[in-house]
Every structure is written in structure tokens, then in C-alpha cells.
Amino acid sequence: MAEIKDTLTNAVKKVKMRNLKVSMSKCSVLSYLAIKGNTRTFVKIAYKCNITMGKDKLKRFEEMKHFPNVYQNLDFKNPGLINHQEQVVDMKGKWKKDHFKNDNPLTLELACGKGEYTLGLAQRHANRNFIGIDIKGARIHKGAKDALKDGLANAAYLRTKIELLDEFFAPNEVQEIWIVFSDPFPKDRHAKHRLTAPNFLELYKKICSEDAIIHVKTDSELLFDYTMGVLDGRGMKYNVVERDIYRKGTAFPELTEIQTFYEKMHIEDGRNINYVQFKLFQ
């Protein structure tokens, strides 16, 4: 604890001296220490960091409120969606008709971050609809802004917790799900939070059509092996498995052509990227 405090105190001195921005995670640690340590310095630090982070984020949040391709659920306890006109809208079962104005198949990108797959797939498949979903508005902002700039009418973004998917999608509404570099949650006791855990597969079944395909792409051997184990344990077969796609190649160009923010970092670190595709209903 003392060591962390020293490191953070130094980091904060730098922030104060040079007015540097610090990462959100550092802010969270600082805020935590401010509470735990109960020292004036840490309270000041946390305050300072949050203000520094806040300005830019607030600007993005404000801008995103008016994006016609973004829907936000701002209350997880009483889920509801707000559109770009700040109206409460019910999109469940109506995404294709009310938002996309067509009857094309719908793909979700879960834990989309900056939404590169939603964007990249929407550019490649004009005859499909895509929705990127993430809890973090500041990340979605990037994908949504790029989609608007590119005039991609078949790409939209939804800010919510993935756990609430069945609040916003009706049975059979979704035909495909991409899970790209989702958090591996390495501790066993957190396994239920992995997006390929049985509880999540059951959730996806509530909103997906019988022919729905799930794509999982990850650098995490743990998450990959876990996913294969879940399939095996449920007697489910995979359609495709490709390991180490950047070194061994892939039969699906979009797997290497579309790279996410996290993926680029993993590639730089020389990590293996693995891919598995399976049918949800078997």
C-alpha cells in the first residue's frame, strides 16, 4: 500500500506541475485511496484528476446525445432508451423497422469499445444491420461519430450493460453476435462475467433467431479455452476454429482486415489471436 501511495504521489506531483492528464484507471485508484487513506492530499488528487478527465469526456457525452445513430440506457435499475432527441423510445422488436427502415438481418457487436467491428462490417455488408454495444459512452462515441461521417446508415450504437440485452431486443430479433476482445475475467469466481459463460449464452438465446451465429475473437488463451470448454460441456460443436490467425492466416479476410483498439495493442505485444465461430442453437 505504501509503495502504491508513493508511486501515485509522484504521479500526482507530475500532474500538478505539468497539468498532465492521467489515465482513468489511475484516477479510480486515486479516488479509492482518497476514500481509504482519508488524507487531504489524496482527496485533492482525486478531485484534480476527475476534473482533468471530466472536461473531455463531458464534451463527448454532450455531443453523443445528439447522434441519431446512438441510443442510451442511462439507468440500469429502470432500463429504458433515450434517443438523439432526448426522447424515451422503445426499440425492442423494432430496430429494423424503426431505426434501420429495412428488414435486413441484425448483427450485434458486444463489448464493442470504439466499435470497429460494427463500422468495418457495416462498410462490407450493406445488406445487413449492425449495432455496437458497450457500457462506456466515451468509447462508443468514436465508432458512432465515424459511422455518421461515413454515412453508414446500417450501423448504430447502444450504450447499456450487456446483461440487459433482453430488455432491448425481442425474441428472434438478432441473427449474429460478435464478441471481440472481451474482458477475460481471469479469476474463477468471476467466470460468470465472461461473455461466453453459459448464463450469457442463455441470454443470447432469448433474443437470437434459430440460425444465429456467434463469433469470438480473442488474445486471451484463458477465455478461448474456457469458451471451447463451455461448448464442449454443453455438447455444442463449433463451425470454425482458427488459432493464431495473424501468423497462420485465416479463411475470413475480415478477421485480420478489421482491427480493434485492443487488438492493435495485442498484435504489437506479439500475442496470438484466436477465433471460434459456432451456432447458438444446436
Q: How far is the CB of 262 from ligand SAM (least distance, A)?
A: 4
**Integer Cα distance of 95 and 102 in angstroms:** 9
Whose cell is 435499475? That residue is 77
Q: How far is the CB of 133 from ligand SAM (least distance, A)?
A: 6
**Integer Cα distance of 106 and 175 in angstroms:** 5
- For residues 183 and 254, which CB has a smaller minimum distance to ligand SAM in the complex? 183
Q: How far is the CB of 154 from ligand SAM (least distance, A)?
A: 19
Inter-residue contact 121 to 107 (CB < 8 Å): yes
Q: How far is the CB of 265 from ligand SAM (least distance, A)?
A: 8
Distances (CA, A) of 262 to 69, 147, 182: 23, 19, 9
Q: Mapping DSSP to helix (H, G, I), strand (E, B) and coil, where does residue 273 land?
A: coil
**Integer Cα distance of 1 and 244 in angstroms:** 39
Contact range with ligand SAM by CB under 6 A, out of 4-12, 16-24, 31-39, 130-138 = 130-138
Among 182, 227, 274, 277, binds ligand SAM (CB under 6 A): 182
Among 181, 224, 275, 278, binds ligand SAM (CB under 6 A): 181
- Active-site residues, by number, are 183
Phi/psi-derived region of residue 19, left when phi > 0, alpha when psi is between -120 and 50, beta in every other case: left
Whose cell is 488474445? That residue is 219
Which DSSP string do the residues of 44-89 spell out, in sequence order? HHHHHHHHHHHHHHHHHHHHHTT-TTEEE---SSS--EE-TTS-EE
Q: How far is the CB of 51 from ligand SAM (least distance, A)?
A: 22
Q: How many residues bind ligand SAM (CB under 6 A)?
A: 18
Q: How far is the CB of 42 from ligand SAM (least distance, A)?
A: 26
Q: Does 111 bind ligand SAM (CB under 6 A)?
A: yes
User: Which residue number is nearest to ligand SAM in terms of Cβ?
Assistant: 113
Among 24, 43, 53, 135, binds ligand SAM (CB under 6 A): 135
Inter-residue contact 69 to 151 (CB < 8 Å): no
- For residues 130 and 181, which CB has a smaller minimum distance to ligand SAM in the complex? 181
Site string for ligand SAM, 238-277 (x = CB under 6 A): ----------------------xxxx--------------
Residues 161 to 180 in contact with ligand SAM, rule: CB under 6 A: 161-163, 180
Q: 94-125: buried (b, 16+ CB within 10 Å) or exposed (e) per residue?
A: ebeeebbeeebbbbbbbbbbbbbbbbbbbbee
Question: Which positions touch ligand SAM (CB under 6 A)?
Answer: 111-113, 134-136, 139, 161-163, 180-183, 260-263
